[in-house]
Amino acid sequence: MATNTGRPSGTRAGRTYAAVTVYLVVFALLVLALVKWYLVPGLRAAQHANHDEREKLAANALLVLIVVLFALMAGLVLTFRVSRFFFPRPLPPRKQTQYTDAWAESAKRMQIPPEE
């Protein structure tokens, strides 16, 4: 007996898990690269910087934060197809349900006993 899972017959159930896994792995790699090549050298430079240099480092850090957050949001939109909630695909028109009159149907099926 086939069950209706709510998915079209051509989609696979594992697609979402693969997308989440790939998204998390790529984001983790991005964060690790950011820490290794930006955060650690920036913290070392901030220890020996004067007031103007610290302001420049703070502005640069804000710019990097904005770029990383933009990449995160773009990755979310592309990975999880958020646009399907805002721009759904057109659906075919629904079929009107045909209701039959139960009393008329029972009258058609009724066996009339022969008269004596």
Residues 34-47: what's their mean pLDDT? Answer: 87
| 7 pLDDT higher than 80 | no
Residues 6+ apart with CB under 8 A from 42: 57, 60, 61
Residues 19-34: what's their mean pLDDT? Answer: 86
Question: If we measure between CA atoms, which residue out of 26, 38, 29, 27 comes closest to residue 64?
Answer: 38
3-state DSSP assignment of residue 43: helix
What are the sequence ranges of the domains in the chain? 15-81
| 9 pLDDT higher than 90 | no
Query: How many C-beta atoms surround the C-beta of residue 27 within 10 A?
Result: 16
- Kind and range of the H or E run holding 67: helix 51-80
pLDDT reported for residue 6:
54
Identity of the residue numbered 39? L
Task: Say how far apart CA 27 and CA 33 lie, in whole Å.
Answer: 10
pTM of the model: 0.54
Angle ∠(20,29,74) on CA atoms, nearest 5: 55
3-state DSSP assignment of residue 48: coil
**Tell me, what DSSP letter sits at residue 97?**
P
Residues 54-80: what's their mean pLDDT? Answer: 87
